[in-house]
């Protein structure tokens, strides 16, 4: 069921139906509840952080990007965490928070070699 709501949310997002997309992501998150599903939670929060344009949306994306990074760091999907730091930095630049963007990128660059090698391999 979670994957179904995730898929519908993705389709809505790609069609530009951002409100419907967020509703479906929220339903997927409710279904997961307190269960340990770090990778799935990371995927949901990372996808919720896809840019839609307004500064309010970008501020919310920063929060969801941080959540995604936190979940990915608990899994074997280290390249996804690396991408999350990069996306977080980009979103912070877009809302004019240069110092916080610099912190995100610096944290990525100072990450354990295992994370950095995963980030390089995925390029």
Each residue's pLDDT tens digit, 84-122: 888 888 888 888 889 999 998 998 888 766 655 555 554
pLDDT given at position 28: 93
C-alpha–C-alpha distance, residues 84 and 80, integer Å = 6
Residue indicated by tokens 């069609």: 15
Which of the given ranges, 5-9, 19-23, 42-46, 109-113, has the highest pLDDT on average? 5-9
Residue 100 C-alpha from the chain's centroid: 16
Contacts of 2 (CB under 8 A, 6+ apart): 28, 31, 32, 37, 40
pLDDT given at position 116: 55
pLDDT tier at 66 (50, 70, 90 boundaries)?
Answer: confident
Q: Which of 88, 53, 52, 86 is nearest to 67 (CA)?
A: 88
Tokens of 47: 């996808």
Task: Return the domain boundaries, the chain.
Answer: 53-121
C-alpha–C-alpha distance, residues 42 and 115, integer Å = 16
């Amino acid at each position: 069921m979670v994957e179904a709501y995730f898929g519908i949310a993705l389709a809505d997002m790609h069609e530009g139906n951002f409100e419907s997309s967020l509703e479906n992501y929220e339903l997927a998150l409710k279904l997961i509840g307190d269960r340990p599903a770090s990778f799935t939670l990371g995927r949901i929060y990372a996808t919720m952080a896809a840019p839609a344009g307004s500064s309010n949306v970008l501020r919310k994306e920063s929060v969801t990007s941080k959540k995604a990074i936190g979940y990915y760091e608990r899994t074997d999907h280290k390249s996804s965490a690396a991408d999350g730091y990069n996306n977080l930095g980009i979103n912070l630049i877009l809302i004019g928070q240069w110092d916080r963007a610099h912190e995100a990128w610096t944290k990525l660059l100072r990450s354990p070699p295992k994370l950095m090698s995963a980030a390089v391999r995925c390029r």
